[in-house]
Structure 1
Amino acid sequence: MVLTGRRLRVAALTCAIGLAATGCTGDDSDGFRPGAADVGDPYVPGHGNGGYDVGHYGLDVRYDPSTDRLTGRAVITATATQDLSRFNLDLVGLEVRAVSVGDAAAEHRRGDGELVVTPRGGLPRGRQFTVTVDYVGVPTAVDDGALGSGGFLHTADGGVALGQPDSAATWFPVNDHPSDKATYDLAVTVPDGLAALSNGVPGPKSSADGWTTWRWSERAPMASYLSTLVIGDYRVVTGTHAGRPIVTAVAASLPATGGAATSLARTGAIVDFLASRFGPYPFDSYGGIVIADERIGYALETQSRPVYGPGFFADDRPNPSVVAHELAHQWFGDSVSLTRWGDIWLNEGFASYAEWLWEEHDGGRTAQRNFEIQYAATDWTQPSVEPGREQMFGSAVYKRGALAVHALRRTVGDDLFFRILRTWTTERAAGNATTADLVALAERVAGRQLRPLFDAWLVGGSAPTLP
């Protein structure tokens, strides 16, 4: 039901004089009710929120490494998906100074990793609204027990905001689940001499009073965990590739011409090869960032500009394989994103398979030989789909997932296989998907039943028969 102007004013007045102490739930005959405080994904309890869909985040942050203090303003544009009396945003640790919805100040309170916002009047389903949050504090790291250290990490020369599935809520208020993707604009102000790197297309920089503001814009919808902020002393290289900006950066403490730099220099060539297999590159910019902090023992497919931990280039060795993996995620995981974390193999299985494709293209082992080696080494008791929280980043997700991809290729043949992949990345671009969606699309394109094949290779408890 859509409230008239008079009834909206009555609802707001009732909230102000009678229900404020209980959070003004709006559970009344008009049907306005609070949005869910949890999206309901068992892999990330407490993450994500219901009742609205975010369209855009406008973030303006200032970070001083000498005090580890971050000051921010988030302007969030969203649309109510129900008659909404209040809603939650995920936010960890930081102090909220003010919240407004539209032009009006809004009541707000903090919970466990939550910012609960009660606007002055209910938000009817379908209404677009803007939330402005002013916040400040010392951002924190998180250790979720799955991937390891993440969130906002203070470093010797700045900070790094990175992690999966946790990171975004440690530095801005957010609907922190990949099912709610949005576009982003970021302005980040840091002391002169430091780089401030993020996702998307770089904008104009400006300096004043010893501070420099870096600007970034990601116009393709992005899952929140794919956002990043890397601040510090970096050698930044900018240019263009295929008519789009390419920005790479390597921590200044790492060798200028070593394995990290030479690996990132292959970004354009690797993207071009993957595009020949998966379809057009889905974003407006390219790049990569290599950090020096040893606490980051992983690489992450942060959208348009992956971030790599230093261990991938140990002993100063080049490692184009990890670059191929993270760039493949730009199609599988970033453009086509998860609806739920239990289907994470859709990200990691295809990215792992891309490593095999790149190795063969680069003069190494064939994809078939890698398939044979991995088939013999796989523990078939561990499923790729719904692997469990503790196995989100286990071998079954990555390697068994890659085996399933190659088994599909052997079953349908190369022409149909790559047609399935290109159709998937085209039809599902900028959206979300599940394993069931992939199976249905593969069966449609191939014109045959493939569910038993996927079941055997992804969740069956024993080694499948080779196709």
Structure 2
Amino acid sequence: MALSRSARHRTRLLALATAAASGFAVAAAPGAAPGAPGVGDSYFPLLGNGGYDALHYDLGVSYDPASGRLDGRTTLTARATQDLSAFNLDLQKLTVTSIRVNGHRAEFTRSGDEITVTPGKRLREGERFTVKVVYGGVPLPLSGPIVFGSDYGWMKTKDGVFVACEPNAASTWFPSSDHPSDKATYDIRIDAPKGLTGVSNGRLVSSYERDGRSYAHWRERRPMATYLATATIGKFDVRRGTTPGGIPIYVAIDPALPTGPVDVYAITAEATDYWSQVFGPYPFEETGAIVDDMPQAGFSLEVQTKPAYSAVRNETTIVHELSHQWFGDSVSVERWKHIWLNEGFATYAQWLWAEHKGTRSAHDAFVAAYNARPADSDFWKIKVADPQRDTMFASAVYQRGAMTLQVLRERIGDKAFFKLLPTWTKLHRYGNATTEQFVALAEKVSGQRLGDLFHTWLETTTKPPLP
């Protein structure tokens, strides 16, 4: 995720609202128990759900831009990780009208954003099961300074909706296990008024118009975190093709946006191919971009396969979001406290791009960022390895994260450093990872002990001396 220039100046303070774990009186079958209502992430205790592993989402989204109403049908295929008498789904605000488990009607109750589902008979550990949820209502975006002071999630536009959900807004539009540690594959079917285009993740399976409606079916075959899913709808000029390296590309741009010097299609193609050389093979079936007219969103997001931009952003932002396809999308955080593994790496990718283009070395970018913040700046007071929910997207996570990588590069040398990056993306491809795992791999690849380096740059709350 990258913030716009104006959004950098917005306040990022947010009072941490810690929700009490919901309690439901469920009569457990012998040997079975309810799944936990959350995965235990310290930043979002009730996001995600215990007792099962999400495998695939089949999402049907019918949207009316005039009223803002969404009618949805979600079929989740999952595997029980324990004997289950009940389990939870995350869903904010929208009204559930029916739930079926393995085709049979199931009882359900609600407490806040938690839906507790009680199937007619227990689910056994290892059993694959399906959950079909019918629901509807008017999705509302989340707001507050957690994401640069901007609204985020399901955001109504002049002609449709812009959907960008990091970190906790996927459950504003579909029921899910809404945490990046529970990835799944997706089919996303979008139904909107005729003349509008529905754009989502992966490859377009089919699209057609009938009876005054426009239909699009997208399929993401690679595991994806919930916050990276999108169902953006609007009027778009679409350009399709392949990058010079042969990767399919799909770029959708709102025709209402002014044209300028930024060729989103060309930069996307070039950067995808270049990062494939530096970070390892491109991990997905398609690359691209969604460029919408959404001025209320002061950020861009690394939507899997098609980064979403709320305006025509500059080249630096585009290469940042595309690098996230490796760092954040394919290799996702195991808990949100490790967010620097996404944002520090993507910021460092901007420095590498400038170096590649010959405009500034990564070393000079590091020194400039370091010198720009005096020792008494609040920038140095954030513990990047665990920045806390209210500052998880603060500039220190981005910039100091990137500084850490440059210091690492200068310590271990280019040969080891540029071996480390593709080794990391290969080792954790389509999975989740932690800071501790990155440190261990860096030590293994370099043959050096690096604990002091990572402690100094990620865990201290004072300005480190230049190495």
CA contact (8 A) 2:236 2:254 kept: yes
Distance 1:49 1:373, change over 3 A: same
Q: Residue 358 of structure 2 is aligned with which of 363, 367, 372?
A: 363
Matches for 1:397-408 after TM superposition, within 5 Å: 397-408=397-408
Of all paired residues, the percent bearing the same amino acid is 47
| Worse-matched range after superposition: 345-354 or 56-65 | 56-65
Taking the aligned partners of 2:131 and 2:273, their CA distance within structure 1 comes to 40
Matches for 1:245-256 after TM superposition, within 5 Å: 245-255=248-258
Is residue 134 of structure 2 the alignment partner of residue 131 of structure 1? Answer: no
Taking the aligned partners of 2:135 and 2:462, their CA distance within structure 1 comes to 52
| Worse-matched range after superposition: 38-47 or 396-405 | 38-47
Name 1:442's counterpart in structure 2. Answer: 442
Q: Residue 341 of structure 2 is aligned with which of 346, 364, 368?
A: 346
Name 2:451's counterpart in structure 1. Answer: 451
How far does residue 27 in structure 1 lie from its aligned partner after superposition? Answer: 3.8
Name 2:222's counterpart in structure 1. Answer: 220
Matches for 1:34-433 after TM superposition, within 5 Å: 34-147=34-147, 148-241=150-243, 242-255=245-258, 257-260=259-262, 262-310=263-311, 313=313, 319-378=314-373, 379-433=379-433
Unpaired segments ≥5 residues, structure 1: 1-21, 314-318
How far does residue 137 in structure 1 lie from its aligned partner after superposition? Answer: 1.4
Taking the aligned partners of 1:42 and 1:425, their CA distance within structure 2 comes to 25
The residue identity in structure 2 corresponding to 1:154 is K
How far does residue 23 in structure 1 lie from its aligned partner after superposition? Answer: 5.7
How far does residue 240 in structure 1 lie from its aligned partner after superposition? Answer: 2.1
CA contact (8 A) 1:63 1:70 kept: yes
How far does residue 94 in structure 1 lie from its aligned partner after superposition? Answer: 1.3
Taking the aligned partners of 1:264 and 1:442, their CA distance within structure 2 comes to 34
Taking the aligned partners of 1:35 and 1:442, their CA distance within structure 2 comes to 36
CA contact (8 A) 1:196 1:230 kept: yes
Taking the aligned partners of 1:366 and 1:296, their CA distance within structure 2 comes to 31
CA contact (8 A) 1:24 1:85 kept: no
How far does residue 221 in structure 1 lie from its aligned partner after superposition? Answer: 0.5
How far does residue 237 in structure 1 lie from its aligned partner after superposition? Answer: 1.1
Taking the aligned partners of 1:70 and 1:298, their CA distance within structure 2 comes to 24
For the residue of structure 1 that corresponds to 2:453, the secondary structure is helix
- Structure 1 ranges of 4+ moved more than 6 A: none
Taking the aligned partners of 1:263 and 1:365, their CA distance within structure 2 comes to 22
Q: Which has the higher contact order (CA 8 A, sep 6+)?
A: 2
How far does residue 380 in structure 1 lie from its aligned partner after superposition? Answer: 2.8
Name 2:11's counterpart in structure 1. Answer: none
Name 1:462's counterpart in structure 2. Answer: 462
The residue identity in structure 1 corresponding to 2:154 is F
CA contact (8 A) 2:63 2:192 kept: yes
Taking the aligned partners of 2:315 and 2:257, their CA distance within structure 1 comes to 17
**1:293-329, CA deviations, whole angstroms, 9 ceiling, x for partnerless residues?**
111100100111001122x64xxxxx11001100010
How far does residue 265 in structure 1 lie from its aligned partner after superposition? Answer: 2.5
How far does residue 136 in structure 1 lie from its aligned partner after superposition? Answer: 1.6
How far does residue 462 in structure 1 lie from its aligned partner after superposition? Answer: 3.4
Taking the aligned partners of 1:244 and 1:31, their CA distance within structure 2 comes to 50
TM-score by length of 2: 0.91
Name 2:3's counterpart in structure 1. Answer: none
How far does residue 463 in structure 1 lie from its aligned partner after superposition? Answer: 3.5
CA contact (8 A) 1:179 1:340 kept: yes
How far does residue 24 in structure 1 lie from its aligned partner after superposition? Answer: 6.0
Distance 1:366 1:101, change over 3 A: same
CA contact (8 A) 1:350 1:401 kept: yes
CA contact (8 A) 1:99 1:131 kept: yes
For the residue of structure 2 that corresponds to 1:86, the secondary structure is strand
Unpaired segments ≥5 residues, structure 2: 1-22, 374-378
How far does residue 465 in structure 1 lie from its aligned partner after superposition? Answer: 4.2
The residue identity in structure 1 corresponding to 2:117 is V
Select the structure of larger CA radius of gyration: 1
**1:111-132, CA deviations, whole angstroms, 9 ceiling, x for partnerless residues?**
2012211000111111110101
CA contact (8 A) 2:188 2:231 kept: no
**1:265-318, CA deviations, whole angstroms, 9 ceiling, x for partnerless residues?**
3101011111221111111100011111111100100111001122x64xxxxx
Taking the aligned partners of 1:363 and 1:166, their CA distance within structure 2 comes to 38
**1:365-407, CA deviations, whole angstroms, 9 ceiling, x for partnerless residues?**
1111101111223443322111111111112200000000011
For the residue of structure 1 that corresponds to 2:209, the secondary structure is strand
CA contact (8 A) 1:151 1:170 kept: yes
TM-score by length of 1: 0.91
How far does residue 461 in structure 1 lie from its aligned partner after superposition? Answer: 3.2
The residue identity in structure 2 corresponding to 1:234 is F
**1:229-269, CA deviations, whole angstroms, 9 ceiling, x for partnerless residues?**
211111111112343321111111112x4245x13431010
For the residue of structure 2 that corresponds to 1:178, the secondary structure is coil
How many residues end up aligned between the 2 structures? 437
CA contact (8 A) 1:457 1:464 kept: yes
